[in-house]
Amino acid sequence: MERPETRSHNLKPSACTPLFLAAFTLRDAGCCIHTHSIHAVLVTLLVEQKSQSQSQSHTSSPSTTTTASPTAVFEIERLEQIKGIPRGGSGSGNLGYFDRLRIPIIENTAREEDLRGSLEEAMEAWPGASAVLVRRHGIYVWGKDVAQAKTQCESLDYIFQLAVEMHKLGLPWV
Residues marked as catalytic: 80
- CA–CA distance, 29 with 95 (Å, rounded to integer): 18
**Contact, 18 vs 25, CB < 8 A?**
no
38-58 and 146-168 helices cross at what angle (nearest 10)?
A: 50
Nearest alpha carbon to residue 153 among 63, 81, 100, 52 = 81
Nearest alpha carbon to residue 37 among 116, 134, 168, 111 = 134
